[in-house]
Structure 1
Amino acid sequence: MHSTAASQTRETYTDETVFAAALDYFGGDDLAARVWMNKYALKDSQGRLYERTPDDMHRRIARELARIEARYPKPMSEAEIYGLIKDFRYLVPQGSPMAGIGNPFQIASLSNCFVIGTEGQSDSYGAIMKIDQEQVQLMKRRGGVGHDLSHIRPKGSPVKNSALTSTGLVPFMERYSSSTREVAQDGRRGALMLTVSIQHPDALDFINAKLETGKITGANISVRIDDAFMEAVEHDREYVQQFPVGSDQPAVERTVRAREIWEIIVHNAWQSAEPGVLFWDTIIRESVPDCYADLGFKTISTNPCGEIPLCPYDSCRLLAINLLSYVQDPFTPQARFDFELFRTHVGAAQRVMDDIIDLELEKVEAILGKIGADPETEETKRVERRLWEEIRKKALEGRRTGIGITAEGDMLAALGLRYGSDEGTAFSVEVHKNLALAAYGASVKTARERGAFPLFDAEREKNNPFITRLKEADEKLYYEMLEYGRRNIALLTIAPTGTTSLMTQTTSGIEPVFLPVYKRRRKVNPSDKGVRIDYTDEVGDSWEEYTVFHHQFRVWMAAHGYDPAGEYSPEEIVEMVAASPYHNATSNDVDWVQKVRLQGAVQQWVDHSISVTINLPNDVPEELVGLLYLQAWKSGCKGVTVYRDGSRSGVLVSDTPSKEEKEGETLTAFPLKRPEVLEADVVRFQNNKDKWIAFIGLIDGQPYEIFTGLADDEDGILLPRWVEKGLIIKHRMEGQPSRYDFQFQNKQGYKTTIEGLSHKFNPEYWNYAKLISGTLRHGMPIPKVVELIQSLHLDSEQINTWKNGVVRALKKYIKDGTEVKGQTCENCKGHNLVFQEGCLTCRDCGSSKCG
């Protein structure tokens, strides 16, 4: 239905009406209500809302799935489907399917994630820019994107253009990162994964690329590590890097000490939570789709969260199954897991996922129709059209799905099992084994009714380790698959459930594992998993304040004779928590090596991959990170990421500020006397039509002073555009004012000095710069400095524009996650604002303003 016609035939609701209804639906959780309203409720391009609560959304989804079911034998009814998804109780379609299924107002894909790439020789600007455009085209339709850079020539390689030699990987990492940030403006989604093989000669540059603050902020990065490298690390042997990667006749070879590179990977992961590692030989060896590599299904990279290794132009829709809902008599001695109901629902989930592929194909046709109707020339539209044609082809040929789970930690707690214990691990493995067998059984049954995926060939798959495992566990299933084929090329994953978990926690108990029970939890992204619970923290006056943060703890209270709505002292709550199954099961309590072994054991029953983060306290040594990575490889994990508390702002942070400081209000301990030499960042900005440049002197990475002046002008500051770092040197001259010079190292390694920064200023600008530098030097927090500058009402439009440029230059130094008081989101009018990578970001609706 055309969006205009659709809007004329539907009832609309005001924001106030929808928010009130959603707030009631979510039991008073205003954040969940607002996120659902802004991200998933049906709306048109004018922002008119057509759904009051998630129940309307679930009926919309059930209606569309039933329409697809009617095409096939033995269809499920709309009522059956609705019963499975209502209240987020059993089956939970993830973000893109929730927002897009049955949505006539938005031309967007239902896929959560994609991988792109170019076959054959692709080390050219043409190929690089083609990938750049494809990345943007997918992100504008709400998709996360991954692609691999191993095809790009290493730094210093000869090229047949005016540059003569290649720049290597890092500049292209910056290009792709910038494209992500560009398309993500105004709240639009853009998530990117960049990968490279450890065999590539520039792998170390890739590993170090994000260490510099503000660089490549629009991408996650992971290294594809092969078994040969890991064995070289383990035995302290040399390792040969080469280009082309994997070639029998490489043009470039370089011998390195594997352990030296390994130590850098470990250090960077310990320090800044990246890069992640992908154990590539394990991924390829276990991959069922790679049995069809020669037919276009060769895995080359993963999606941004790492749980879906994909071939170029393949994509995946995601759905989670709420494990907690299958626990009967939870939190009691009689608690048990209903495996029969679970297996029945897994079968239904796999059928639903196959229906969603048909819905996705309809969406792709709509996208192609829009491209055809766009007024641009065919040449302009060629890349976008070809992209979606390739995506349609892969969806038809493979019919890939992505069923996962959520609430595993709560399931174990409800059964009286501790997460990370031997008993808990054994039970988790049994659940995932049942999930794999039920899903593959359903795919075989669907193939019998609807036909197998077109490329299915049992002979190709007969030696695949995952398929062999299925055969050993259920021979009847295996031989039925030989007879009827399978409907889907690959089926299973474990993905982070993100905002879906936030919305489901108050309706059915689905939530991030081990949510803290105290009010300060709001400062951490609700999708984080395994965040430490500090039970000795002040928890407030009444339990009512915490119901939205830990619904399942209230269930445990009721099962053990406590009144969930009662008032309790902090000491009483601490005592209750210590008696609950959540005790000793937080991220800091779990044996981290045991968690890695759990991931490896579960991975045996997941045909794609698992997005799991090992969360560590701040004081762990680097050696532990290396040990965990090594154990992950040996345990059969396909990938692993480590976050150390505080290693990356806004990812995993302790909720309790120390007594000496409050978040965002710490006074920097600058020396009383200015050092003669300061490290400096160079920031360029526009002031009306003039180009300006700012030199920001730093102490311990924090702004201490700022100089600004005209750039690219005969009376201004002449500086090559590639210069981003240098030194500000103070010269004291007897009887004269001090002079400040800027010094940088040119490309030949020689020092170049620009004398007299202060003399490059218009006196009025110089006076304001001295005011700003004074506030910095005396330790005023950067957010307060920005607020002060923004509040200045200066005399001319030109100097006000200059002021805005200085604000933009300083914002990059504000710690991610810093809360903003007294401002309102322009999009949703909420007040839950934080700084993220220098941009003002709304936690409620996700919109971002970087100006």
Structure 2
Amino acid sequence: MELTKPTKKPKTYSLDEAYEASLKYFNGDELAARVWVNKYALKDSFGTLFERTPDDMHRRIAKEIARIENTYPNPMSEDEVFDLIKGFKYIIPQGSPMTGIGNPFQIASLSNCFVIGSDGPSDSYGGIMKTDQEQVQLMKRRGGVGHDLSHIRPKSSPVKNSALTSTGLVPFMERYSNSTREVAQDGRRGALMLSVAIKHPDAESFIDAKMTQGKVTGANVSVRIDDAFMKAVENNTPYVQQYPIDSKDPVVRKEADAQAIWKKIVHNAWKSAEPGILFWDTIIGESLPDCYADLGYRTISTNPCGEIPLCPYDSCRLLAINLFSYVEKPFTKEASFNWDLFKKHVQFAQRIMDDIIDLELEKIDAILKKIEADPEDMSIKGIEHNLWLAIRKKAEEGRRTGIGITAEGDMLAALGLRYGSDEGVDFSVQIHKTLALEAYRGSVFTAKERGAFAIYDAEREKDNPFMQRIKEADPELYYQMTEHGRRNIALLTIAPTGTTSLMSQTSSGIEPVFLPVYKRRRKVNPNDKDVRVDFVDEVGDSWEEYVVFHHRFKEWMEINGHDTSKNYSQEELDKLIELSPYYKATSNDVDYLKKVQMQGAIQKWVDHSISVTINMPNNVSEELVGELYMEAWKAGCKGVTVYRDGSRAGVLISNEEKKKEETVAPGGSIFPTTRPEVLDADIVRFQNNKEKWIAFIGLIDDRPYEIFTGLADDEDGITLPRWLNKGLIIKSRNAEGVSRYDFQYENKRGYKTTIEGLSHKFNPEYWNYAKLISSTLRHGMPIEKVVDLISSLQLDEAINTWKNGVARALKHYVPDGTEATKQKCQNCNSTNLHYQEGCLTCKDCGSSKCG
């Protein structure tokens, strides 16, 4: 009888064990430790942790990549791979690869980005619903999705059904957006990009769709702009829109005012940071995959952040190279860049990326196997099954990769180069040119050993501008490619590296440092154990806030003899920053036009695209935004996004406080000239027509200054702990410049939680009356007079019960002994009434009425 050797049970760790070990790993960086434990540490569906520190994760990844390597000639060993990826120092698999490689508990893709949809005019309801289902199926597997709406017929077009005419694009934008908001993976929502061609007759409606509060909140939106439109804007000439957009015989055709549409794009971007712009002719003209457009590789949209333009059903996996780690003797006069090590590692990174494609194919096979084993009928699961078959075909045939970088800003600072300066831009361009050449060299070397991607054809690519630049820069590489082919259809991108840069403790992607000292918000899952929620935004996402020194700024301080333990004043910090290489090199310092010129110069060496945001101050003009967009087109950028400070609730916010001004209001009370940013607040709960309501009463010197009311303990209202009766009301402004009010409180553990956009939580009719009442309070009307005013309002029955509750809430603030006017005692009919602890009390008979 043969004995079966018992399987060794894997070691597990508690959340506290993993957090404490990771905190030590990240040298006390709480945010990096929590991000890694919550997002990337290997865990099963019950939350059991199988990894204690990132070393365990990197060993898991190295083991799997080495397994694939062993199926090919000249394999790298597990230790060689581990040394390249450990410590987030050199090569960093991003997002889905970091989570999914070697993960037996998750049947999910390793791809970060997908594009789905139709390559051509197909806008039947069946096709639209198919795209909706495909989007959901991908998001549940952790992928970000993009699709284009240019194939949907414009509004009022005739259709052969009971509706008779088409509804146009906008209703379907909302449908796809809502689907995104519905899909959650362990507290994470999906990411969606919706795009449309400017040539589409409904483009203006698309551009305006997100300007309505609460609309299309689950999607990023970008407009595909062609060169003809940009020339029409430049020359102030008409522009022709049509449907289908590529037809020689369109069914809809109209002349449009190009400058008017342009001004709308610029205005909306200025107000809300959207829409983004995709310079479509540049994207298509530079695209190597589009050399194979007739074989199914025609680019139709991008991923949610815009850095990967893709054809239908193609996907991409991302990896970043940490540029800071190639600077030797950083922040000293002897600082230099190790070009030889960088070139060597880029080639290794491209090889690892090709291994990850094989791991992705295994993951897709597991997904297909699960679908096939599902007891549902194929009529139900067929769309999902066919979706993954199509994705598998593209991944295997094209073998697309997405090598990028992080820490560009820190690299330049460490070398003593100012981000955005001529010297800094020249050095960055040299970095990305080298990265492109060495990645393509690595792909050619890999093709020699493993074979070229299935449809490689040098003849198809010979006139492509990107390929021409490679040929000019390195003729030998080009001719080796024509002889051996290359392993991957396209290779390069520059993606945002949010959590990656947190764990590498560097600046993000290609961006400059935001601030050397800053406050940061991180989206969190409120259901996670020990999570701290400091902020709840308008759409219900939870965030955690930190005030921190940028790690590499702190390193500069240490190297240059500055005390990192001192409690500096803001003035001292400002002087310290002036001494550093980060001075005048933060995201708000860099000249906007210089940044898009830098992006355009780097774009020439990136075969996909670049995710970059141009940060601008709140007072920047719309004209400058338009000038920036025009310069981006001329500079050769493939896309650009503008963020004007305050135009959207951001993730990073300044740590400086604004000063308050005060004046004397009528009646002698001290009130601010403008509403202070922060007010103390009381909470009063009351009934309104058998519903539970809540009032937030903003106070100055314990006197009501404003009031907000809304439903309490309701899924569409506001739910607060029953013990809570005080907090803060914080004023800010939304994208339209309209005031917004957030409520913040401290829980019993000392953590602060913020509920954003009180006004958006309330019925608009009640909100309007609340504004009227607040206005009387702010102008110093005595509280008892405000109560009388509220009581005298002639409203319908439903609002009458509400106004009575508001009056009861405010009566608590009427000073004891205040005489009541225009009211009689219900017991003895006396008019000799006064307020006592918020209750009307009769001096003649002693009866009391509280409400």
**TM-score of Structure 1 vs Structure 2, range by shorter chain:** 0.7 to 0.9
Q: Is the 8 A contact 2:515 2:586 kept in 1?
A: no
Name the structure 1 match of 2:280. 280
Distance 1:163 1:200, change over 3 A: same
Name the structure 2 match of 1:779. 706
Name the structure 2 match of 1:424. 424
Alignment of 1:554-703 (within 5 A): 554-566=554-566, 568-651=568-651, 653-660=653-660
Shift, 1:774, TM fit:
8.9
Alignment of 1:350-499 (within 5 A): 350-499=350-499
Shift, 1:839, TM fit:
14
Alignment of 1:53-452 (within 5 A): 53-184=53-184, 187-452=187-452
Partner of residue 745 from structure 2, selected from 821, 833, 839: 821
Secondary structure of the 1:174 match is helix
Shift, 1:146, TM fit:
0.0
Shift, 1:831, TM fit:
5.0
CA distance in 2, matches of 1:216, 1:590: 32
Shift, 1:554, TM fit:
2.2
Shift, 1:571, TM fit:
4.1
Distance 1:102 1:525, change over 3 A: closer
CA distance in 2, matches of 1:92, 1:412: 20
User: What is the identity, as a one-letter code, of the residue corresponding to 1:492?
Assistant: L
CA distance in 1, matches of 2:349, 2:73: 17
Shift, 1:778, TM fit:
5.9
User: What is the identity, as a one-letter code, of the residue corresponding to 2:446?
Assistant: T
Q: Is the 8 A contact 1:58 1:86 kept in 2?
A: yes
Distance 1:561 1:773, change over 3 A: closer
Shift, 1:504, TM fit:
1.8
Distance 1:53 1:230, change over 3 A: same
CA distance in 2, matches of 1:786, 1:292: 57
CA distance in 1, matches of 2:305, 2:85: 24
Q: Deviations over 1:305-351 (max 9, x none)?
A: 00000000000000000001001111111111111110000000000
Name the structure 1 match of 2:520. 522
CA distance in 2, matches of 1:469, 1:668: 65
CA distance in 2, matches of 1:129, 1:821: 43
Distance 1:232 1:8, change over 3 A: farther
User: What is the identity, as a one-letter code, of the residue corresponding to 2:292?
Assistant: Y
User: What is the identity, as a one-letter code, of the residue corresponding to 1:129?
Assistant: M
Shift, 1:513, TM fit:
3.6
Distance 1:6 1:365, change over 3 A: farther
Secondary structure of the 1:209 match is helix
RMSD between aligned alpha carbons? 3.4
CA distance in 1, matches of 2:740, 2:190: 18
Structure 1: state its 5+ residue gaps.
527-544, 662-666, 673-762, 795-812, 841-851
CA distance in 1, matches of 2:398, 2:585: 40
Q: Is the 8 A contact 2:708 2:758 kept in 1?
A: no
Q: How many residues align?
A: 700
Shift, 1:767, TM fit:
8.1
User: What is the identity, as a one-letter code, of the residue corresponding to 1:52?
Assistant: R
Matched, 1:553 2:477: no
Q: Is the 8 A contact 1:319 1:353 kept in 2?
A: yes
Shift, 1:499, TM fit:
1.1
Q: Is the 8 A contact 2:693 2:712 kept in 1?
A: no
CA distance in 1, matches of 2:758, 2:457: 51
Q: Is the 8 A contact 1:268 1:275 kept in 2?
A: yes
Q: Is the 8 A contact 2:712 2:718 kept in 1?
A: yes
Secondary structure of the 2:242 match is strand
Distance 1:220 1:12, change over 3 A: same
Q: Is the 8 A contact 1:817 1:834 kept in 2?
A: no
Distance 1:770 1:352, change over 3 A: closer
Q: Is the 8 A contact 1:307 1:609 kept in 2?
A: yes
Distance 1:114 1:816, change over 3 A: farther
Distance 1:830 1:114, change over 3 A: farther
Q: Deviations over 1:215-272 (max 9, x none)?
A: 0000000000000000000010000000001110000001011000000000000001
CA distance in 2, matches of 1:652, 1:583: 18
Shift, 1:789, TM fit:
6.2
CA distance in 2, matches of 1:57, 1:284: 38
Q: Is the 8 A contact 2:521 2:546 kept in 1?
A: no
Distance 1:838 1:228, change over 3 A: farther
User: What is the identity, as a one-letter code, of the residue corresponding to 2:225?
Assistant: I
Name the structure 1 match of 2:688. 765
Q: Is the 8 A contact 2:305 2:495 kept in 1?
A: yes
CA distance in 1, matches of 2:99, 2:739: 32
Distance 1:19 1:789, change over 3 A: closer
Distance 1:483 1:837, change over 3 A: farther
Name the structure 2 match of 1:721. none
Q: Deviations over 1:286-311 (max 9, x none)?
A: 00000000000000000000000000
Shift, 1:552, TM fit:
1.0
CA distance in 2, matches of 1:6, 1:785: 56
CA distance in 1, matches of 2:693, 2:76: 72
Name the structure 2 match of 1:741. none
Alignment of 1:781-820 (within 5 A): 790=719, 820=744
Structure 2: state its 5+ residue gaps.
525-544, 662-669, 676-685, 724-736, 761-851
Distance 1:333 1:191, change over 3 A: same
Q: Is the 8 A contact 1:816 1:834 kept in 2?
A: no
Secondary structure of the 1:388 match is helix
Distance 1:549 1:602, change over 3 A: same
Secondary structure of the 1:33 match is helix
Q: Is the 8 A contact 1:504 1:510 kept in 2?
A: no
Name the structure 1 match of 2:23. 23
CA distance in 2, matches of 1:346, 1:150: 37
